[in-house]
Structure 1
Amino acid sequence: MRARIFAVAALALFLAATAHAQVARQDVFWARSTGGAAITLDGLLNEPAWAQAESLKIRWQQDTGIPGSGYKAEGGILPVDPTRATIKFLTVGNRLYMAAIVPDSSIGGSEEFNRFDGILMQFKDKTVVGAHPAPPAEFLYSWWYPGTSQNPRAVNKLPGFVGKWGNFPPDTARTPTQIDNWNAVTVVTGITNADGISPADSTDKRWVVEMMFNLEGVGYDITDADGDIVAFNLSLYDCDWFWTNPLSFFFSVNRTWWQGPWGNSAGYNSVRLFARPNVTIASGAVPVVAPELIVPNAGNYPVPAIDGQLNDQVWSHAPHFDIRYGDDANFATYPGLGPVLSGQYQPVIAGNQAFIGDPADATVYYFVRDDSLFLGFDVRDQFVQYSLDENLYDGFRVSLNEYTLHDLVDHVLQGRRLTFQVGPTGQAKTLDYLTTMQDTSGTARVRLFLKPGTVVDNPPQALDNGYQAELVVNLRGLGYPAGLGERRLHWGITHIDGDQFSAPEDTYGARAWWFREYDSTSGPVWAHLSATQFVTGVGDGDPTPAGPSLALLGSHPNPFKFGTAVRFSLPREADVRLDVYDLQGRHVSRVAGGRLAAGPQQLQVLGQSWRSGVYLYRLRMIDPATGVELASANGRMLKVN
């Protein structure tokens, strides 16, 4: 998988060199290899390699990198001694080393949350196999000492370890395994937990951390030729003038973060921390990392009519990706950190999580033209319905970031939710910021089209064939300048799918997302809106063309509860019939597909009344002129109750 990721990145680098200039990514950082030179964990940073490491400055009230970096005051006055830290990374084998140099005139902690100095970090944990998204692994190294039997504000106390490979309370002795997976040494210039009456009396100067992470403990391997991309974020906590009696006027609490603020939840974004063996302290400038996605330009095609139908010429050639619940292989096809950040979720409905008989399944098409982003949605859904419950919507949430506007609370690049669902009459119903853009500013339009045979009904009376939708967003409505400026785009898409039945215990909702679930979660794709790379005559991943013979592509969903779709590809126009049998050979059902064109096709099978068990089916391809059977294919499906 990593080979594919870096092959795609290499291709994108070539395209970047030959296409419209692309802005440097602010969500990327390189950890150079020492080339085998050892690092002694002593907090002194006196190895020559540290002087060759890439360096990052983190400053209070300054953006450390869009779209997810920010800062927030948590108490007291604004700091008179604000955060101004330097962060560095190196690698030795599969171990990641981090240095933090933090000037600070008031250093310490307590048993109270936020009343401490420290570093809160998160890795997306790939050791949890099959999890989508990869769950957060929290690493808190700080002077926070809750629940301890010792004095949490003892003079000269040093930081403790909380989170994965740490303990709670943080002064509990750690095992050799914990220490081997995560360790750190801090050197303080000053006296912790001891302030003078005013800042002028402080003896504190700075604290320096030298830290080690065993990347195997969070599922990464940077040792092979392709290296790896580590999903990471970091937040610096700064508490000043808390250790006086009475409390000093200069008391302040704040935090400043790099892409994401939290350790135990997916906030805003993740740093793409690149590492591979041939990027060393002696290898010269670090490689330029290309965007995770190129959005091609469709200026060479007519503007599509926004009516919900994907029948304009450009849609048949536009690049696309699938969003599908429960499909691990599909998640693995996403670029960059997509396989780690993308995910799925089934909420509890009326106290129950029912079997998902018809999982969310859609194809999303994309391109840019002039100043607008165009998205097309082709949804395969056997039960198209309307609901007021967000967990039971049939629809999409597109999350985009403003070009320059920052949030007033966390000071991150402002996110917007553009949500639409299938309305009660089959029209698109706008929600969240999409309503503002469509109805107020006129900078977005969405239209929806029900495929033939689809009826919006609750509960369902028959199997549906799904729906299509078109969404166009004039990015000027999100603060982009004419011509789109740096032509960067931060976005994610969530496909929401709910199925409601007469028996409440059968009703379920589910959603799956590409890169990020919401505008405030980690993390969006970093995309480039190309001015010079055009939609080609052959789409990336166009539907499978007709082959030389009948090809059975299986059934989906399988197993199923209410119905399934048998998918196949015809080599030529033909009449198609599907017969279903139980394991005793008894004929159970027949679906007459009629005359179908060459290429990919599917037949809907309704099996709600069948008993649970395995069923066999035969697909027959018949010559329309003679009635002679030209070919057949056999398969099996599993019905569950």
Structure 2
Amino acid sequence: MYFSNNQINNKPKTKRSISMLKTTKMLLVLLFVILLQTNSYSQMRQDAIWAKMAPAGSIKLDGVLDEAVWSKAEEVKVVYGKPGPLPTSAWRSEFQEDVYFDQTNATVKFLSTTDNKLYLAFYVPDSSIGGTSDWARWDGILMSVKNKGSEDRPAPADEYFYTWWLEGLPEAMKTPVAGNGPRFIGKWGTWDDTTRTAEKKAAWNAVTKVIGTSNDDSTPDQAWVVEMMIDLGVEGYDITKPGGDAVAINFSIWDGDWIFKGDPLKIASARTWYQGPWGNANGVNVARILGDPGVTVDASVLPEIMPDGVIPNGKNYTDPIVDGKLDEEVWSGAMNFDIAWGSEEIRNDYPYTGPVSSGQFQPELGGNPRPPILDPSYGNIKMFFKDHYLYMAADVNDQLVQGTSEYDRIDGVRFIFQDRGTINSDNFGQFQQLRVDFDAAGIPIAEEYLKTLVDSGYAEWAVSLKGATTVGNNSDVDEGYQIEIKLDLQGMGYPTDLGDKLLFGGVMLADGDSFDDPLADYGTRTWAFRENDWGPAAAWMVLDPDKVIGSEPNANNGRQDAIWAKMAPAGSIKLDGVLDEAVWSKAEEVKV
């Protein structure tokens, strides 16, 4: 279940209808580099987790967490001030970090049930619990569930906000009351009231137990415990079907301390998140919460969660000449996948939450209505690595190749990868944009961070035009172009041996067509996982040194009437027709 490494691409090549202290930042970079150098490339994914399935009705929503099934749940830690689960879990201070001593150190557990519900348990140690109507003076959970049931892609971000924040309520209700619990805001909550319909409660509900007294700092509290239920059906997911489903979620835990102490100098607030901080935006990244009827609370061994992509090793081949022509044999064995405007078929082939986070966008040009797309974009993306170099390519079909300085009209490709050596102001690795397009004179140009990498000697690139393609000539029919990039990953913070051999990012294909009639002009952007450095998600990819291009026992130059059945440990395959065991990704195959 990942981007293909097949030597033959079977898709038709046709068109388809705020700042940190410098010393602190240096320490963070050092921590990330240490993790990068010591982790195994085969480590378990940190952005995905199983919600084991329990029988419907086995969990009582009371905030006590005393059901036996909770002891069998998978969990993540959400900890302020330390590198969180890769690639984008992190934290940020909201107010007076220098007096923020009781920092978030929460445990979050996940379960699912046979009636298509997701259950989450939050155990949040906290000595000061509650909130007011002021900004960032409250505790709470800000969550986003991406609405798979929507026809829009990327799927809209539905907000689930469970909090002691009192803003939006009538003035008479804005006075904090000792002992009061959190309120529900967002799609299934209410902004200006605390009442909720039965429909909203059935879609999303939670119960909180406070060990202590909320909205009262006369004595220290101990913790707040949340038991939460989400009906996945209302968001378009079905974890009960054969093969299950992957739910795209992210959340942050907000912590406001000593708000009621009477000493403004002791007030502090912060947020700490799992993969992404915001509730109503498709930004940063998502966690993949997996549910499957075959993965129950009684499962002793969980299926391995495969990477979104496995990038093979090209060590058996000479380095390709970076000339924009993808004619070297090594490219036929590269990891490859397609991007196409308007192709739900292609998008739905992306693994896990790829179909939800990948998407497309057509901006308005000059304030004019959006016209029909006459020549929808199509591109095939390829990647392999050799030593500490990542080779990337795009083979793009385009009947009208043009150059422009206006971003919304460009023809080009953007690769987006996390820089493992640069930590941003939100305390996770900065995503860098590497873009190639054509300028107003029709000349290919390196844009964004690719230009910086080229200028510093870490990258080289080239573009070739396919067939009789011309740039900026509307009187002919073009075929398209090819882009080839060689990137020294040391320029993106990797050690020479590539450390944990993980790569996080996505690819965006831009296509703009302009005509004599400006009302017919359009520009489009279509992406796999990530459109830009902001989001919506990041593919988890592995630079696999053992997946060597051309070394397969049944390579094309060998016998075609024989094939290797590689040996796996006994018991490593469950006969259920799902093929989700890791060993299947390493099996030899034939095409019939």
Query: TM-score w.r.t. structure 2 length?
Result: 0.83
What percent identity do the matched residue pairs reach? 38
CA, structure 1 residues 405+286, in 2 after alignment: closer, same or farther (shift >3 Å)?
Answer: farther
Q: Aligned partners of 2:59, 2:182: CA distance in 1, in Å?
A: 21
1:562 equivalent in structure 2: none
Q: Tell me if structure 2 keeps the 8 A contact 1:428–1:446.
A: no
1:158 equivalent in structure 2: 181
- The within-5 A match list for 1:71-220 is 71-78=91-98, 79-93=100-114, 94-129=116-151, 131-149=152-170, 150-152=172-174, 153-171=176-194, 173-196=195-218, 202-220=219-237
Q: Tell me if structure 1 keeps the 8 A contact 2:3–2:350.
A: no
1:61 to 64, 81, 97: 81
Q: Aligned partners of 1:102, 1:6: CA distance in 2, in Å?
A: 38
Q: Aligned partners of 2:88, 2:156: CA distance in 1, in Å?
A: 18
Q: Tell me if structure 1 keeps the 8 A contact 2:137–2:165.
A: yes
Is 1:45 the counterpart of 2:45? The answer is no
Q: Aligned partners of 1:51, 1:400: CA distance in 2, in Å?
A: 37
1:253 equivalent in structure 2: 269
> Match of 2:88, as an amino acid?
G
1:435 equivalent in structure 2: 451
Q: Deviations over 1:223-261 (max 9, x none)?
A: 13312111111100011122244x431101110000001
1:444 to 459, 482, 496: 459
Q: Aligned partners of 1:25, 1:276: CA distance in 2, in Å?
A: 17
Is 1:271 the counterpart of 2:302? The answer is no
Q: Tell me if structure 2 keeps the 8 A contact 1:232–1:272.
A: yes
Q: Tell me if structure 2 keeps the 8 A contact 1:132–1:344.
A: yes
Q: Aligned partners of 1:535, 1:132: CA distance in 2, in Å?
A: 34
CA apart distance, 1:426: 4.3
CA apart distance, 1:425: 4.8
2:259 to 230, 238, 242: 242
> Match of 1:160, as an amino acid?
R
Q: Aligned partners of 1:168, 1:147: CA distance in 2, in Å?
A: 6
Q: Deviations over 1:63-83 (max 9, x none)?
A: 221111111111124312111
Q: Aligned partners of 2:517, 2:551: CA distance in 1, in Å?
A: 48
1:303 to 297, 308, 319: 319
Is 1:484 the counterpart of 2:498? The answer is yes
Q: Aligned partners of 2:250, 2:234: CA distance in 1, in Å?
A: 17
> Match of 2:190, as an amino acid?
N
> Match of 2:294, as an amino acid?
N
CA, structure 1 residues 510+203, in 2 after alignment: closer, same or farther (shift >3 Å)?
Answer: same
> Match of 2:110, as an amino acid?
F
Greater Rg, structure 1 or structure 2? 1
2:416 equivalent in structure 1: 399
Q: Tell me if structure 2 keeps the 8 A contact 1:161–1:170.
A: no
Q: Tell me if structure 1 keeps the 8 A contact 2:238–2:244.
A: yes
Q: Tell me if structure 2 keeps the 8 A contact 1:427–1:447.
A: no
> Match of 2:410, as an amino acid?
Y
Unaligned runs of 5+ in 2: 6-39, 557-592
Q: Aligned partners of 1:210, 1:7: CA distance in 2, in Å?
A: 40
CA, structure 1 residues 532+74, in 2 after alignment: closer, same or farther (shift >3 Å)?
Answer: same
CA-based RMSD of the aligned residues comes to 2.2
Q: What is the DSSP-based 3-state SS (H/G/I as helix, E as strand, rest coil) of the residue aligned with 1:530?
A: strand
Q: Tell me if structure 2 keeps the 8 A contact 1:494–1:517.
A: yes
Q: Aligned partners of 2:3, 2:166: CA distance in 1, in Å?
A: 42
Q: Aligned partners of 2:471, 2:551: CA distance in 1, in Å?
A: 35
Higher relative contact order (CA 8 A, sep 6+): 2
Q: Aligned partners of 1:431, 1:25: CA distance in 2, in Å?
A: 32
Q: What is the DSSP-based 3-state SS (H/G/I as helix, E as strand, rest coil) of the residue aligned with 2:494?
A: coil
Q: Tell me if structure 1 keeps the 8 A contact 2:313–2:547.
A: yes
Q: Deviations over 1:288-332 (max 9, x none)?
A: 212121111122222211011122222244342111111111111
> Match of 2:187, as an amino acid?
K
How many residue pairs get matched? Answer: 514
CA apart distance, 1:388: 1.0
Q: What is the DSSP-based 3-state SS (H/G/I as helix, E as strand, rest coil) of the residue aligned with 1:483?
A: coil
> Match of 1:24, as an amino acid?
M
Q: Deviations over 1:326-347 (max 9, x none)?
A: 1111111222321111110001
1:601 equivalent in structure 2: none
1:634 equivalent in structure 2: none
Q: What is the DSSP-based 3-state SS (H/G/I as helix, E as strand, rest coil) of the residue aligned with 2:188?
A: coil
CA, structure 1 residues 77+537, in 2 after alignment: closer, same or farther (shift >3 Å)?
Answer: closer
CA apart distance, 1:447: 0.6
Q: Aligned partners of 1:27, 1:137: CA distance in 2, in Å?
A: 19
Q: Aligned partners of 1:517, 1:105: CA distance in 2, in Å?
A: 41
Q: Deviations over 1:468-492 (max 9, x none)?
A: 1101111111111112121111120
Q: Aligned partners of 1:180, 1:139: CA distance in 2, in Å?
A: 14
CA apart distance, 1:7: 13
